[in-house]
Structure formats: C-alpha cells, structure tokens
Structure 1
Amino acid sequence: MIGKIFIGAVAASCLVSGSLLISGAVQAAPLITEEEAKLPPPKGAIAAERRGILRGPKVEVLSPSNTVSSPMKLQLKFESFGGAKVDPESVKVIFLRTPNVDLTSRVKPFIQADGINMQDAELPPGEYMVRVDIKDSDGRPGTASFTLKVAPK
C-alpha cells in the first residue's frame, strides 16, 4: 500500500512540475512563459556577435534561423579550441528582460558537451533576446546573444 502511494506521489509530482520522463524522452515545459514574455526588455540591449581571435569556446545557433512558430526546435552548437572541452555544468541560459530570467534549469536536460538540442521549446509569440554563457575545461569563457522570433499562431 505504501509503495503504491509513493509511486502515485512521484508520478503526480512529475506531472505538476511540467517534465515527465517517458521511455527515455523528456517533454519540456515552456521555455518562456506568458508572464515572463510580458516583462520589459532591458534598455539598450541588442543581440551582438563577438568578433576577433578568442581561444574561449564558441556558441553557434543552428536552429531556429528565422521566425518560427511554437513549439520550435532550439539547437545550439558548442565549439572549443586548443584541446579543451566545453563544461556542460557551466552552461547558463538567460532570457534578457528586466529582471533577467534564468532559463538554465529548463534547458538542463537538453545540454550536452557539444551543444543544446531541445526539440519542442514552447514560447509565446514575440521576439526574445537570449544569452548563453559557457566555459571550457581550461576555464575560458564564451558567450553568445541572439534573438528568437516566434510568429503568432
């Protein structure tokens, strides 16, 4: 009897938390909620690429490459240099708003040493600036800021 109650409680907590492991697949909760989307953007924020010769790891956005509908595929590629490896535990994903929203826990199940591969990221319609910070095994930092554009349904 206690075992059945425990299993039921675990299943209920998984459903309430928004992520449930089914046959090894993770179903994602919304990447950005409606409430977070309504927060004001930071003043003067723009998505920018860093140019120059840097030895720190690089973050490249593979998908989406343009305006998409939700749910969308969020795929980022990490590249390290000089024999160093990207530390998956160092990855931070921030939704740039006032105040900023840390999305790291929402993408954590999809983070690997070579990037992020989230098949069904849910976002409300709009434009969202996101920053990804990473470090390599030598402690060198890398960062990328980009804009996700989500079309109305």
Structure 2
Amino acid sequence: MKTMSRILTLGAVLLACSASAFAVTLIKEDEARLPAAAGGLTTRGITRGPGVKLLSPDPAAGAVKSPFAFKVAFEPRGGAKIDPATVSVTYLKATPVDLLPRVKPGLSAGGIDLSGAEVPPGEHQIRVTVQDSEGRQTSTVLQLNVAK
C-alpha cells in the first residue's frame, strides 16, 4: 500500500510540474520600464518565407489580463520545414531584450505555446523571426496589450 501511495504522490508531482512547465515570466517589470525603441518599425513587403501568426491572445480582443496563453503559429510554405534553431524572439526596447531563453520550453517547429505568460500592464512589441529549410526568413512584430 505504501508503494501505491508513493506512486500516486509521484504522479501528482509530475502532473503539477508538467502543467506549469510552460508558464513563464515573458517580460519583467524592469524591462517594461526601459525606454521605447527609437524610430519606426520597418517591415518587408511580400515574402515567400514562413508565416508567423499570433493565435493567443487574440489580437482583435483588445487588452488581456496577465497571465495569459501566449501562442504563436509558424506556417511553412512550399513544402519547406521550419528550423526551430533559427527562431529569435526579441522585446523591442531601446536596448532590445532577448526573450528566446524564456520561450524555449514552449518552442517547436510548429510555433510557441506558453500556457501562462506573465507580462506587466502596458503595450508591448515583440519581434519574432523564423527561417525555413529553404533559407527564407520572416520577421513579424507582435503587439501585446496587457490590462492592469
């Protein structure tokens, strides 16, 4: 009976760890207070590179409360495959902040999937850059609006 109890306890611990494995502080308070990036954001025109689409939070929903699910889909084109090793995720500030180490637990060739992203209130711009197996690169700026 003790063995069964230990197994159940271990299972509960593993389940709790896996459920929170992709919860992360995406942007820290002190980073949110950094000065904004200078100049306008430049984007390229039509590209055959992979698509980058913000799935959650829904961009049309307006401000969201933190923590929230942060899900980004990578959409390969023309039979190419996404190379996760080429992904970069940057918080756009006067001194850019590399967010890749924070999103790595939820990063795959299909995109980014974080169940509980912690972000301070405010408007935040995050650049996601991805490259496919054909060497085509896409860079997209995601807008996050987080309510108080």
TM-score bracket for the superposition, by shorter chain length: 0.7 to 0.9
In the alignment, structure 2 segments of 5+ residues that lack a partner are 1-15
1:33 and 2:28 matched: yes
Question: Per-residue deviation at 1:24?
Answer: 6.8
Cα distance change on mapping 1:149 and 1:23 into 2, 3 Å:
closer
- Which residue of the partner structure matches residue 77 of structure 2? 81
2:63 to 53, 62, 67: 67
Identity of aligned residues (%): 44
In the alignment, structure 1 segments of 5+ residues that lack a partner are 1-20
Question: Per-residue deviation at 1:35?
Answer: 0.5
Superposition CA RMSD, Å: 1.7
CA contact (8 A) 1:41 1:96 kept: yes
Question: Per-residue deviation at 1:27?
Answer: 4.5
1:135 to 123, 131, 140: 131
Cα distance change on mapping 1:34 and 1:133 into 2, 3 Å:
same
Question: Per-residue deviation at 1:147?
Answer: 1.2
The more displaced of 96-105 and 73-82 is: 73-82
- Which residue of the partner structure matches residue 147 of structure 1? 143
Question: Per-residue deviation at 1:94?
Answer: 0.2
1:123 to 100, 116, 119: 119
CA contact (8 A) 1:63 1:74 kept: yes
Q: How far apart, CA to CA, are the structure 2 residues paired with 1:22 and 1:119?
A: 13
1:55 and 2:52 matched: no
TM-score for the superposition, normalised by structure 1: 0.78
CA contact (8 A) 1:28 1:106 kept: no
1:90 and 2:86 matched: yes
TM-score for the superposition, normalised by structure 2: 0.81
Q: How many residues align?
A: 130
CA contact (8 A) 1:40 1:97 kept: yes
Cα distance change on mapping 1:45 and 1:28 into 2, 3 Å:
farther
- Which residue of the partner structure matches residue 10 of structure 2? none
